[in-house]
A = this chain, B = another copy of it.
């Protein structure tokens, strides 16, 4: 029999060893910065001061850009919330990690149990990990964080994700912790996503026509937020949206939600400074996909996938720089793993993206002149797989389910902007004929230099046959490399 005193000694020794662990990890990670990944919901770059919009009010994002690097050619790979976040947090395309569509309700997509996510990898590398706000990926075990400061369902009107200043305040336990390990904070707002209104019969709806969707704005405001109200006549209507009164009214609401979100970012940065973390924290601001308007979100057109990316890296030497390297959200996980010093331990074939750490400080980097995108579904009923390659000059989209009418997300097809146009008999949405938006050929090829709005399809132009075939070959190779289940369609249909 083992003496109780011996057992007691063993327990004490173990406890002492455990107590030393954080110090050992801290020593090992002395040079590793904290990482704050801020993910906005449906925020396009066209509505940020630093990206040239002089009407919207984003002083804190503008300050972050002035103190860091603003990317001009950053892209999500799927303009749908859950798929895009799954790519961000795994470094794998949605068609590889299993998150083919939305995670919530009856859409019910989830990543494969075998996937190893960014928070899990960072946790194993000695980071403490925490998330707050919108999540929208699953299963929980694959995307495990040490600490869930708050969760919240998708499109939940009571979500904390609509109250970004309160969110920032609730990160204090992470920021004020005495734990010497670096932290990874995933900070994701519900703003500026569209919000459901509740009908008199209790059912939710996005269709409030002729009133605009409120994008989460409410008369009572939100804690710590100074409401910034915009006049429809002042907003900037981008070329891909119709310049109608209802669309202007909706953009005004969208701006207001962005101004709120901006204040949350400002509060979070202030707290990082207050707690002495700012100079040793990598801050990333980006959006999961483009704005929640038809023509952007759920498409692979630039308004859907070309997004804000603002990075403020510790020890930067080029504050306020503009980075033109082409990067995607598939590259974010490898980049952050390199920042954390553990990219080398990850098998190259486990990641579809590649690190752009060298680009974080704004210095020009070579070999960043094309990106790939992959959309599969959004809602379960919205099957419309597309694969695309975009160079600086061209974009080629392969519409795998070309025979279908393009299926519009409920929040977009019910949006007052769309409903208004349909009721008035409009046949052009922005600069794109509605018929062309709804019925797409198997291949679309655009010359972005002469046609930045992607209206003139050159796929059948004899003069562009060579570039088309070259880009199709690239898309096929991308599908092979990333083990796309849809690659079989090339052989069997």
Contacts and interface: CB of A to CB of B under 8 A. Distances in A.
A405 interface: yes
A100 B379 CA distance: 13
Nearest to A383: B383
A407 interface: yes
Contact of A381 (B106, B108, B405, B488): B488
Contact of A486 (B100, B381, B488): B381
A148 interface: no
A486 B404 CA distance: 14
A477 interface: no
Interface string A461-491: 0000000000000000000000001101100
Contacts of A110: 108, 110
Chain A: interface size category: 20 to 34
Interface in A396-435: 401, 403-405, 407-408, 410, 413
A485 to B, nearest CB: 5
A223 to B, nearest CB: 33
A58 B410 CA distance: 52
A493 B486 CA distance: 24
A40 B197 CA distance: 48
Nearest to A486: B381
Contacts of A489: 381
A385 B106 CA distance: 15
A264 interface: no
A198 interface: no
A493 B106 contact: no
Contacts of A381: 385, 485-486, 488-489
A6 interface: no
A63 interface: no
A387 to B, nearest CB: 12
A119 to B, nearest CB: 21
Interface string A98-121: 101000001110101000000000
A408 B493 CA distance: 9
18 contacts: A98-B106, A98-B108, A100-B380, A106-B112, A106-B485, A107-B485, A108-B112, A110-B110, A379-B485, A381-B486, A383-B401, A401-B403, A401-B404, A403-B403, A403-B404, A403-B405, A410-B488, A410-B492
Interface of A: 98, 100, 106-108, 110, 112, 379-381, 383, 385, 401, 403-405, 407-408, 410, 413, 485-486, 488-489, 492-493
